[in-house]
Amino acid sequence: MSRWLGRNLGLMFLSLLLAFFFWAVATEAKDPTQNAPFGSPIPIETDGLDEGMLAYGMNGTRVRVELRAPQSVWATLSTDELRAYIDLSEVNTGTLTIPIRVDVQAAPVQVLKITPSEVSLTVERIAEKTITVTTRLEGTPLFGFRADAPEVVPQTVRVRGPASWVAKVTQAQVTISVQDQQSDVRGDYQPVLLDENEQPVANVEPVPKAVTVNAPISQLGYVRDLAVTVAWEGQPAPGYRIANVAVDPQLVKVIGRVEVVREVTGYLLTQPVSLDTLTRSLTTTVALQMPEGLSLISPPRPYVTVSLTIEAIQSGLTLAVTPTLRGLSPNLSAVANVETVVLILSGPLPVMEQLQVEDVEVVLDLTNLMPGDYTIIPVVDAPEGVIVQNIFPEAVSVRVQRAATLPSPFR
């Protein structure tokens, strides 16, 4: 038996080798191997770093990996099955260049290439120190208010990070905006860690990350909104009246001691505006009458714009006017069926009080008319501002005839 094995051992080994070869060829044909980069970049983890040490400077570096794997493995391979890491278990402090390793949980998978293949970082011992939180107010409160010293809880924070960076920190500053505020400003703020030149320090963080700050806003005086009332003296010219009064702004904001502001009525008067002999509308800038101890917040100057609308008082008048025939050819004559036309007029009282019959003309236009009977619409010519409310009759009958023929009255 041993002789037979000795003579046939090589043959048996060759048979096994051939069987494996044909199996591998068949397997490759059915599930071919593929070399390709993995689709997503992989974050780098750190392993083995001592608890009292801290690594920084990688700035979120990720790696791309080229793999060799059967097509069936590629179809199911996910990011969770790949892990990129650097081993820091044997490193000392300082700036180091460490090779990157990639482990793959799926099989069979071969890592062909890692890009980048190494990473530079700094390793330092962790340090901490306590810093008092300082506050900086930005902006100014609403006029009439002031910002008092902010209250901070907790008043100190621990600065934690690499020893060389922690040593640079001299301030933990919180900035609070009080611009246009009239009530306390309260909130949670993350202190900014600064060096002696008031520049932000990187790679360190405060513990806790945020502090609670309350910036009290107090009132310097009592603020109140008051209406503006226009004061005037005298009267417009006879026959005119005030149709409207407007003031801009209508409300002003004042400040003063509480007892002074509360004693003021609900409005401020302007300096008197003279209406004497006014016949036209007026727009003017007028000063306010400011009680002692009271100051304006808005507008900044104690002046307002006053607009007075002055209009004439309207009056009515009835006149009987003899119509005037106009435009008739010289060889023709005409007779109207009425001696007068009655007009109902209206207008400003001063104009109407002075109006006479001869100031108003009623015209019957007979231009280019031939002999015959016509109905003519009267045209009224009245002074400026006088309005014709009604005419009676609204139309006048006129007979036009040859001048040689004596006019005969209408029957």
Q: Give, in order, the Cα–Cα distances in Å from 369 to each of 96, 373, 401.
A: 119, 10, 10
Kindly give, in sequence order, each residue whose CB lies less than 8 Å from that of residue 165, ignoring residues fewer than 6 positions away. Answer: 201, 202, 203, 204
Q: Which fold has domain 223-312?
A: RNA Polymerase Alpha Subunit; Chain A, domain 2 (2.170.120)
pLDDT, tens digit (0-9, with 9 covering 90-100), for 293-348: 888 888 888 899 999 998 887 888 888 899 999 988 888 889 988 888 888 888 88
Please answer whether residues 215 and 276 qualify as being in contact, where contact means their C-beta atoms are separated by less than 8 angstroms: no
Nearest Cα to Cα of residue 168 among 193, 190, 191: 193
Please answer whether residues 227 and 251 qualify as being in contact, where contact means their C-beta atoms are separated by less than 8 angstroms: yes
Q: Which fold has domain 126-219?
A: RNA Polymerase Alpha Subunit; Chain A, domain 2 (2.170.120)
Burial class (CB in 10 A: 0-12, 13-18, 19+), 57: middle
Kindly give, in sequence order, each residue whose CB lies less than 8 Å from that of residue 8, ignoring residues fewer than 6 positions away. Answer: none
- Burial string for 205-237 (b: 16+ CB within 10 Å, else e) reads ebeeeebebebebeeebbbbebebebebeeebe
Work out whether strand 361-365 and strand 324-326 pair parallel, antiparallel, or are unpaired: parallel
Residue 236, phi then psi, degrees to nearest 5: -60, 170
Q: Give, in order, the Cα–Cα distances in Å from 177 to each of 174, 213, 297, 331.
A: 10, 12, 21, 97
Rounded to an integer, what distance in angstroms lies between the CA atom of residue 58 and that of residue 49?
15
Please answer whether residues 297 and 223 qualify as being in contact, where contact means their C-beta atoms are separated by less than 8 angstroms: yes
Rounded to an integer, what distance in angstroms lies between the CA atom of residue 213 and that of residue 225?
32
Sequence ranges of the domains in the chain: 33-116, 126-219, 223-312, 314-402
Question: Is the torsion defined by CA of 11, 14, 19, 25 positive or negative?
Answer: negative
Per-residue pLDDT of the chain (411 residues; tens, 9 = 90+): 555 555 556 555 555 655 444 444 444 456 788 999 988 899 999 898 888 888 888 888 899 999 999 988 888 888 888 999 999 988 888 899 999 999 998 888 889 999 999 999 999 999 999 999 999 999 999 877 889 999 999 999 999 999 999 999 999 999 999 998 988 999 999 999 999 999 999 999 999 999 999 999 987 777 788 889 898 888 888 888 888 889 999 998 888 877 788 788 888 899 999 988 888 898 999 999 988 888 888 888 889 999 999 888 788 888 889 999 998 888 888 998 888 888 888 888 888 888 888 889 999 999 988 998 888 899 999 998 888 888 888 888 889 998 765 455 544
End-to-end alpha-carbon separation of the chain, Å? Answer: 170
Q: Give, in order, the Cα–Cα distances in Å from 158 to each of 131, 143, 201, 409.
A: 6, 38, 14, 121
Same fold, 33-116 and 126-219: yes
- Among 3.30.590.10, 1.20.1250.20, 1.10.10.10, 2.170.120.30, what is the CATH number of 314-402? 2.170.120.30
Work out whether strand 62-70 and strand 33-37 pair parallel, antiparallel, or are unpaired: antiparallel
Bridge partner residues of 127 (DSSP): 161
Q: Please identify, in words, the CATH class of the domain defined by 33-116.
A: mainly beta
Tokens read off for 165: 């960076």
Q: What is the largest CA-CA distance in the chain?
A: 176
Please answer whether residues 97 and 60 qualify as being in contact, where contact means their C-beta atoms are separated by less than 8 angstroms: no
Kindly give, in sequence order, each residue whose CB lies less than 8 Å from that of residue 31, ignoring residues fewer than 6 positions away. Answer: 70, 71, 72
Please answer whether residues 91 and 98 qualify as being in contact, where contact means their C-beta atoms are separated by less than 8 angstroms: yes
Kindly give, in sequence order, each residue whose CB lies less than 8 Å from that of residue 209, ignoring residues fewer than 6 positions away. Answer: 190
Cis preceding linkage at 70, omega within 30: no
